[in-house]
Amino acid sequence: MKNGKKQTRLSGVERTDQIYSVAAQMICERGFDATSMSDIADAVGITKAGVYHFIPSKKELLFAIMSYGMDTLEAVVIKPAREIADAEERLRAIITSHSMLIARSSNDEGHSPVTILVEEELGLSPAHRRKLRQRKRVYVDLIRSTLEEMKAEGKLKDVDVTAAAFSLLGMILWVARWFRPDGKLSREQVAEEICKIAFGGLLQIQANGKRKNTEQTE
Amino acid sequence: MKNGKKQTRLSGVERTDQIYSVAAQMICERGFDATSMSDIADAVGITKAGVYHFIPSKKELLFAIMSYGMDTLEAVVIKPAREIADAEERLRAIITSHSMLIARSSNDEGHSPVTILVEEELGLSPAHRRKLRQRKRVYVDLIRSTLEEMKAEGKLKDVDVTAAAFSLLGMILWVARWFRPDGKLSREQVAEEICKIAFGGLLQIQANGKRKNTEQTE
DNA sequence: CGCAACTTACCGACCGGTCAGCAAACTACC
DNA sequence: GGTAGTTTGCTGACCGGTCGGTAAGTTGCG
């Protein structure tokens, strides 16, 4: 009686792709440290030594996965946004596409290469960390400069641009932690709500004369 | 020549406290998996077996630290907030105190028990995870019900309460990742900016007749 | 003396990673 | 179209090291 698992021999590129994709999924679900190379090998259906035939080291594997996540972010969010001339419209596009990207790739307890970008920064070598940080910086700069542009147009409230940029990112990235595909809000609705909150805030504008005081601390 | 490190014998409670506090700091800085029990023992100045004389296991250690973080959150943010009758004021207090708590305990690259609450959920046993999740849930429910209350008072825009609650949390918790004590914004300023953005949003209200369209997607 | 605070020595498990070699698949040549 | 030679996908056995955790003994304070 043969084992049900057929031990098909795959071509180099096929196997390599498979390893990356399986590893990505496992690392996203269980964390980098909690995923051993043997685990990955088992899931792929070959031995650990077999895995090392295709990938150089565990750290390179993580770096490759996170780079892929960054590639996705650039392709889906950054590049399309750059082609939008109007700053406000551009910001709206960034919030929408990024939120939806994260919501798309987050199932229960599991994350995706796009979300590991945030979670697994440890475990990278300093050189790798530096490379990814630089790519992230470019993205933050895009958001910041977009806000700056809006400020110049008089479209932005009197808020600190850095704090605003990171607050936006916080709202967006946090989606990975609470969004559930089977919940009452769809991906599109989540993106829409975040846009509403980011642009308009929570407080209802008072119709009558007495304005809401947003400044008070005491 | 004696080693500079004096090997003072401490009392049980003293040593236990020391272990927890040193471990907390190390785990916050380097991550749970990257911090071995020997590392902690070395930092405390005793052997690993000595550490195990006081604490039952590594997982219990993490759980205790995270519980302490949750205690802090409850004492500094939740309990004071509950004593505020007005919903809007309560929400403002929550945002301010929580932001400042996180900013206070985050130095470069290092975090605190309050911030590990978010980062190290893996590494907990299912039972421990459940306990902490329940305590977090209570906090989320406080925010959500506060928003609900504001909605009933007509003070809240037409936004989904769940999305709003989590967006708030996202903004606040993300502070741990970007705030630097030596940066241009003080803790108080960060809290203030987040309040402004959360309550008033980013867009300037147009003075003239044509209102900003916050709904458009196309 | 007695007990609490420790140390020394050690365990088994598992980690990331290596290496020699095997067998299937592809190529080259007749 | 068979067969020899080469490449390539992959295995089994194993490495040094580190991990969390333990048992038994030692030290020193009250």
CATH code: domain of residue B157: 1.10.357.10
pLDDT at B51 > cutoff 70: yes
Is residue A213 situated within a structural domain?
A: no
With beta carbons under 8 A apart, name residues in chain A contacting B122.
Answer: 30-31, 34
> What is the pLDDT, as a whole number, of residue B7?
66
Is residue A216 situated within a structural domain?
A: no
| Domain match, A68 and A44 both | no
pLDDT at B75 > cutoff 90: yes
| Domain match, A122 and A77 both | yes
When pLDDT is cut at 50, 70 and 90, the band that residue B9 belongs to is: confident
Q: Name the helix (H) or strand (E) containing A128.
A: helix A126-152
- The predicted model gives A105-133 an average pLDDT of 84
Residue B66 near residue B120, CB atoms below 8 Å: yes
Range of the domain at B110: 58-200
The per-residue b/e assignment along A168-182, b for 16 or more CB within 10 angstroms, e otherwise, is bbbbbbbbbbbbeee
> What is the pLDDT, as a whole number, of residue A206?
63
When pLDDT is cut at 50, 70 and 90, the band that residue A109 belongs to is: low
| Domain match, B74 and B93 both | yes
> What is the pLDDT, as a whole number, of residue B10?
81
Looking up residue B45, the CATH number of its domain turns out to be 1.10.10.60
- The predicted model gives B165-169 an average pLDDT of 98
The residue with greater pLDDT, B121 or B213, is: B121
CA torsion, ordered B40, B46, B52, B57, to nearest 10 deg: 0
- The predicted model gives B199-204 an average pLDDT of 87
- For A112, the token pair is 């995706």
Nearest to B162 by CA among A169, A204, A170, A189: A189
| Domain match, A35 and A116 both | no
Q: What is the residue type of A168? A: L
Using the CB atom, is residue A15 less than 7 Å from strand D? yes
Residue B173 near residue A173, CB atoms below 8 Å: no
Q: Give me the phi and psi of B156, to 5 degrees please.
A: -105, 140
- The predicted model gives B76-102 an average pLDDT of 97
Nearest-by-Cβ selection for A166 from B156, B178, B184: B178
CA distance A200 to A198: 6
The residue with greater pLDDT, B76 or B5, is: B76
For chain B, how far is it from start to end, CA to CA, in angstroms? 77
Is residue A176 situated within a structural domain?
A: yes
Q: Which of residues 31-70 of B touch strand D (CB under 7 A)?
A: 35-39, 48-49, 52, 57-59
Is residue A175 situated within a structural domain?
A: yes
Using the CB atom, is residue A38 less than 7 Å from strand C? yes
| Domain match, B21 and B70 both | no
